[in-house]
Amino acid sequence: MSRFKLPIAALLLAGALLAGWQARGWHEDSRRLTAERATQQAIDAALSRESRIAQAVEARLAELEANERIIDRGIIREVQKPIYQRVCLGVDAIRLLNDAAAGRRPDPAVPAAPLSRHAPVPD
């Protein structure tokens, strides 16, 4: 009978080892499943919160849509033309700049005023 004790003890030890291994796997699977469910619940909560916010924004945009169309129709076009004013330039320089901006050549019949130290200020 003693020759059967050693193989039986080895089989019992192997069975206990396999049972422990299997129980540990079940435990790890249970922990992973719990973490996965918690993550999924957090995702679902965030999605539902974002969905409520999106619905509120869409409802508000639906109310504002008419105002947007009215504002767009109100402004047709805005054109800015550069107009040079006399700040530190003389009358002839202003005339030359305005002619250049309009795409005209300056009139050669109108002579330019001679340069002076201080440009006269017209009233």
Using one digit for the tens of pLDDT, what is the confidence trace for 80-97?
776 656 567 777 777 887
CA–CA distance, 79 with 112 (Å, rounded to integer): 32
pLDDT of residue 62: 80
- Choose between 66 and 105: higher pLDDT: 105
pLDDT of residue 32: 96
Nearest residue to 94 via CA among 106, 86, 102? 86
How much is the pTM?
A: 0.39
